[in-house]
Structure 1
Amino acid sequence: MAAPTKENASSACVIPGGFTVLSMKFSSSSSAQHQLCVKEHRVRAESSTERPTDRTLFVLNVPPYCSQSVVKDLFSQFGPVHHVELTEKPGAAQEQQLNLSRYFTPLQKQSFKVAYVVFKHSSGVAAAKAHPYDSPLIVSTEEKPVKTGLKKWICEYKQSFIKPELLQEAVDDFMSQYDKKKEEEAELQKKEAEEQQEDEEGWVKVTKGGKGVKSRPHSETANQRALQKEHSKRKRKELLNFYSWQHRNSKREHIAELRRKFEEDKQRIALLRAQRKFRPY
């Protein structure tokens, strides 16, 4: 990519694609600088309320040592920040999951990420885009230091120890929510089973469901009977008169059966005639 060009020393740096380049330093004494590419988030296909197009700033090249709180503090100088979302790559907003404990959530990868910074007012996005390139943003300050290196590893190691009482509390909370969800599902299934029970004549009451809900006019027993009937019917037709000799044998057997019935009928008629013979004395 070509080096960014600046109109003057105090203007914002804009590169092709509509991105504004913001310089960033880890601390005020650092000589190395890092670049962030920011742009107003405008995606027509995305209709998420969590990322309003007029108040969301799309940020690329966020370093691994920048957490959500660090990014929020970093961009708070442009205006009050509502919330920050960090993802591994750009994409549609994911649905918010249940507020699970940190014991049940997977660890995030330590890599460069993408950030969506949602300001409370649209003026925050304009202020961030107009920030001059030669005025770097400071990540770690005396008021809010950011730990890296050995200090960060020691802190993460200490936080890895789990207190049994806190873990037990998180497990109990999770199991109570799980049991409540299972009870609701069981009650719903029981209600559906009661509605689909057959009466004495084998009829099932059909009720109109809500929008997008498919009605089920037959019960499970009726469906099982229909499937068994179809299976037996298919089994009877399976390989019936498949070969020519089978067809000849079936014809021969059918003719023999007709002849046998014909002889039986002749004998029955003769017997009836003999019984009806007139005998006056």
Structure 2
Amino acid sequence: MAASTESHARGGCVVPGGFTVLSLKFQSGSVARHQLCVKEHRVRAEKNVSRARDRTLFVLNIPPYCSQNTVKELFSQFGPVESVELSEKPGCVNSGSTNVSLAQFFTPVEKQCFQVGYIVFKNASSVAAATAHPYDSSLIISTPQRPIRTGLHKWIHEYTQSLIKPEILQKAVDDFMNQYDKRKEEEAERLKKEAEQQQEDEEGWIKVTKGGRGVKARPHSEGANERTLQKENKKKKRKELLNFYAWQHRNTQREHIAELRMKFEEDKQRIALLRAQRKFRPY
């Protein structure tokens, strides 16, 4: 026990994994303490270029009521802080950022949980100062200079911030609709120009222009599709071999006889009708 107390007095409390334990209090008069585990961030294949090597401090067990500004001010005592990144799990890239596809008035609800943080200092010596901070000297979150809202005051502030002023929302809607109308007019103008270029000339030829990459092909008109279908049918009829086989010859004769019989019956009905009307004039 004496050795442990002596090590705390000399510097930070080091635990397995290379982490240094820092003591954290909400206020200076608080009895309860919270522990933060910090160490220098060293990863061989780092995907996030914003986490500078030898100047990034990796922090575990950050309370959910600590925002990025709070963490930045809390660790500024070790040196100037360049940036702070909070995420739910280690290695996440910009997991705390809002969805860019959503408007500014529809921000998703942030998950309340303990977080991990990546604190980038301007100087590499600040990382060593943070890891060497003694455990007995607690870091204070809420001070008279930077008070942290809790309880009823926090809920009222969050509810007030969630309300949207009608004039701001109306302005955003008007700007969006103006941009939408402008895009529709540009699209209509583009389609009109393409339609003029695709018009037929006197001989029936159509000028086909090459579209840009990524532009969807416009469907043909109904008249153009019908003409294409007629041309295909004519080609098929020219390629057909008539009366080449014996069964084709028999079918042709049978169809011809059926057509003559149908015409004969139509003529008989027409003559009977004229006789009934007494208008029959054979000569």
Same fold, TM exceeding 0.5? yes
Aligned equivalent of 2:242: none
Alignment of 1:21-170 (within 5 A): 21-42=21-42, 47-90=47-90, 91-94=92-95, 97=100, 101=104, 103-148=105-150, 152-157=151-156, 160-161=159-160, 167-170=165-168
Structure 2 length-normalised TM = 0.61
Paired residue total: 229
Deviation of 1:76 (Å):
0.9
1:178 aligned onto 2:176: yes
Deviation of 1:75 (Å):
0.8
Q: 1:167 to 1:262 in 2, by over 3 A?
A: closer
Deviation of 1:30 (Å):
2.5
SS of equivalent to 1:160: helix
Aligned equivalent of 1:257: 251
SS of equivalent to 1:22: strand
Which segments of 5 or more consecutive residues in structure 2 lack a partner in the other structure?
Answer: 233-244, 258-283
Deviation per CA, 1:88-118, whole angstroms, max 9, x where unpaired? 33312257738965x5323323322222323
Aligned equivalent of 1:239: none
Larger radius of gyration: 2
Name the Cα RMSD after superposition. Answer: 4.2
Deviation per CA, 1:153-199, whole angstroms, max 9, x where unpaired? 134226524798x6123303421442354246435644653565424
Deviation of 1:140 (Å):
2.0
Alignment partners' CA distance in 2, 1:182 and 1:223? 30
Deviation of 1:62 (Å):
0.9
Q: 1:155 to 1:214 in 2, by over 3 A?
A: closer
Q: Which amino acid aligns with 2:93?
A: A
Aligned equivalent of 2:218: 219
Alignment partners' CA distance in 1, 2:223 and 2:32? 73
Aligned equivalent of 1:247: none
Report if aligned partners of 1:23, 1:36 keep a CA contact under 8 Å in 2.
yes
Deviation of 1:50 (Å):
4.5
Alignment partners' CA distance in 1, 2:182 and 2:53? 38
Aligned equivalent of 2:272: none
Structure 1 length-normalised TM = 0.61
Identical aligned pairs, as a percentage?
A: 41
